[in-house]
Amino acid sequence: MQLMMGKQFDLDGNYDDHAITFIASKCDDISCSEVIRALHLEDDDELVAIEDKIDDNKSESKDWSKKKSTIEKQIKEIEAVIKNHRQDVGEYEKYLEAIKDGETFVPRLSSKKKVTSGKKRKNSRGGKKGSPKRRRSAEDDASSSNSDDSESDESSDSDTNSGSDSDNDSSSDEEDSDGNASNSEDEPQDQETEESLKAKIKETKASIKEARTLKSELQKEKKAANDELATLKKTLTKLQKEKNAFCSLKRSEFSRDVLKEDFRVGLKDLDDAAAEERDPDNFNPSVNIRDYDAIDLPVFTCSSRDYVRLTKQVEGDGEPTCFSNIDDTGIPALQEWCHALTLSSRERSARTFLAHLQTFSVSIQTYVNGISGVTATDREALRSKWESTDEELDQDDQFQLDDDDPYAAILGGGLYSMKETAPKVDAYGEAVGITPRLDFTKVIEDNVENLKAKFREGLADKCRTGATQASAAAVSTSDEFAGSMHWGTYRATLRRHGFFRRDLNVELLAPFTKNIAASWGKLFETDLFDLFKKATLQTIQKLLTDVENSAAPGLKDRTKIQGELCLEEAKVALQKSMDVVSESMANEQKEISRCLAPHVQDELTPGYDRAMEERGAGSVARQKASFHDFISEAKEDLFEDGADVIMERLANAASAVGDGLALSLGELAQKIEVNLAVLWEGVGDDPQQVHARRAIVGEVEKILGQIELWKDAEKLKKERDQEDLLARELLVDEDVEMND
């Protein structure tokens, strides 16, 4: 694939580091573990530091999570205690109300259940009231309350043989702290009084308040833990993005180096192939034709998604997944590179605009300032010899703008164009004037023939040789292609006329393209229009000299000045035309180089279809045999016709260039006549025109002054750039000497 890609670039005439830019996208799609393992980054200091921070973060998060769980458990316990205390307070208040009303009250939450009345009375027997099952249920309800309302309502009897050593005080303490109702099963209980119930209510409410205070403190600690965990989570996300960015940048760095080295190797292979073809006897592959280490292919690794997210260009697209720094996405560097790539064309366009503006301004200035001192006879003599139209035009209407836009001439269009009028002829019926004299037909025809000759000399023999080589290798290439894949893949390739996962048409052309690649690239790297430009400028210069020689003495100086302006504008316009033609030729040669594979595919379509007609048992072998036989029969004409197609399309491209030049140079001839027409055009003495001319002179002087400032700035920039270049070269030389 690398070799085929290099051949295609060379056929395009652009296989060089100044013409190719490699852009790798989706750099935010990263698997850190794969990159670390593949690039052996386990011991990288920066990565180790990041992973240590991640481990510390996870450990700290784990500690805070445990602390949070403990706090939540404590809060739940306190909430249960508060709930039980509230139930106790409710029961105590009901108990107190019953005592006040002299009613019987059965405590349901107390560990000792006993039917009581509103009067104090001694219990006549020991033990607990109620069944064991009910007592156990009551004790279970009261065991978690940690309340003061479970104070025993029984009194210890001095003659009770309970076997217990505790008294009422110790029993009451146990009830307050442990929630137990009595010292033993057989110990008698005291009845509650209003005072004891009020005390228990007060004490239980105090316990509730104390529990609430403790719960509030625990909730603050829980909030602090949640805040800390949230901060740690954000930090972990940031650290993970930092790790992702580190791995992505390392992968990008590695990929750039590999791509640049592959490009150097591919370029050397192509250079060696061309050198071996030129001089096989003296070819030495160990000797480099050029300094390949100095070749630096521009490679950009980019993440457009993270760039869009970081710059907030799209709402609701989420946060970036890999990069936190815009520069790390690679998009700013790519943008700068794109601006740098267009700098030369933008500078050229600016210079063209400047030249048009200066020529136009000087033409106006020369015309207005040079009116006095020129006789009407001198102007009329010059007109009769060089004006190409015979119609008497009104002063205000004798020129028209090329475009509806009155500024089209200044902004790069034609300066002015002549109206469509009948051409002026001499006594012999021959056209006279500047435009007919500037007939570039012969120059254009010579250029077209020169182009065709260059194409034939540089490529005709190579195409024939390449066709022979491709024909000789066609059968073996087809058989190897068929045997290198599964029968289903081969069948799919036949169904798609040679193009599926691989392109059989391109592989059949490989010997052909390899043979012409170097010559093709070399041919189109040369200036194909150098002789044409020289011939065109010589024709224009000769005409301007003739005009100057034919002018009256009073018009000589003006004619010379105007001729120089015309020549400068002609150079600018001609260069603009050459740029357009060169770009058109470059695009056409790319299309021509890519027409071979479609041509081969069209020629092989009957063979593909015939092979696909095979069905049933053994059809795969019959398909291969069918296509093998078709290739054997068609290979001679297949590639010879391909060579003819290339040469024919190149000839057509040369003819198309000639047609384009004829149109642009015809317009150029009209521009030159319009510029020279100011030498013989008369002016009116109307006061309004005089005032208008005086005003326009001031404006033109301002424009010309600004143009000079722009030119001075350009010169200063060039000088500074040259100084910077010399300084860098000197610094490099000093580094080399120090290393030596």
Among the listed residues 349, 676, 660, the one whose alpha carbon sits nearest the alpha carbon of residue 532: 660
Distance, in Å, from the CA atom of 694 to the CA atom of 290, rounded to the nearest integer, reads 62
- CB-based burial of residue 343 (10 Å sphere; 0-12 exposed, 13-18 middle, 19+ buried)? exposed
What pLDDT was estimated at residue 163? 38
Domain boundaries, the chain: 28-115+129-155+167-249, 348-372+684-740, 376-682
- Amino acid, single-letter form, for residue 5: M
Structure tokens at 123: 């219990």
Query: Residues near 504 by Cβ (< 8 Å), separated by ≥ 6?
Result: 478, 481, 493, 498
Query: Residues near 597 by Cβ (< 8 Å), separated by ≥ 6?
Result: 503, 505, 506, 509
What pLDDT was estimated at residue 373? 62
Structure tokens at 691: 């005032």
Q: DSSP assignment, residue 293? A: G
Among the listed residues 417, 422, 415, 416, the one whose alpha carbon sits nearest the alpha carbon of residue 388: 422
462 within 8 A of 523, measured Cβ to Cβ = no
560 within 8 A of 679, measured Cβ to Cβ = no
Among the listed residues 102, 101, 104, the one whose alpha carbon sits nearest the alpha carbon of residue 113: 104
Among the listed residues 251, 252, 262, the one whose alpha carbon sits nearest the alpha carbon of residue 17: 262
What pLDDT was estimated at residue 683? 62
Distance, in Å, from the CA atom of 672 to the CA atom of 437, rounded to the nearest integer, reads 11
Among the listed residues 545, 576, 542, the one whose alpha carbon sits nearest the alpha carbon of residue 438: 542
Terminal-to-terminal C-alpha distance of the chain: 41
User: 3-state DSSP call for residue 31?
Assistant: coil
Distance, in Å, from the CA atom of 498 to the CA atom of 399, rounded to the nearest integer, reads 61
Structure tokens at 349: 């366009």
How many beta carbons lie within 10 A of that of residue 467, not counting itself? 26
What pLDDT was estimated at residue 24? 92
User: String of b and e for 146-171 (b: at least 16 CB within 10 Å)?
Assistant: bbbbbbbbbebbeebebebebeeeeb
455 within 8 A of 539, measured Cβ to Cβ = no
Please calculate the CA angle 591-654-539 and round it to the nearest 5 degrees. 140
Distance, in Å, from the CA atom of 380 to the CA atom of 473, rounded to the nearest integer, reads 75
- Amino acid, single-letter form, for residue 588: E
Structure tokens at 726: 């010399």
What pLDDT was estimated at residue 187? 44
Query: Residues near 555 by Cβ (< 8 Å), separated by ≥ 6?
Result: 374, 378, 379, 382, 679
402 within 8 A of 413, measured Cβ to Cβ = yes
Among the listed residues 657, 660, 663, 348, the one whose alpha carbon sits nearest the alpha carbon of residue 528: 657
Q: Supply φ then ψ for residue 375, to 5 degrees.
A: -80, 155
Please calculate the CA angle 544-547-552 and round it to the nearest 5 degrees. 140
What pLDDT was estimated at residue 401? 44
459 within 8 A of 646, measured Cβ to Cβ = yes
What pLDDT was estimated at residue 738? 62
CA-CA distances (angstroms) from residue 225 to 70, 78, 220, 228, 231?
11, 19, 9, 5, 10
Distance, in Å, from the CA atom of 740 to the CA atom of 212, rounded to the nearest integer, reads 81
Positions in the chain whose pLDDT score sits under 50: 1-4, 13, 111-189, 391-418
179 within 8 A of 111, measured Cβ to Cβ = yes
Q: Supply φ then ψ for residue 394, to 5 degrees.
A: -70, 145
Among the listed residues 302, 307, 322, the one whose alpha carbon sits nearest the alpha carbon of residue 243: 322
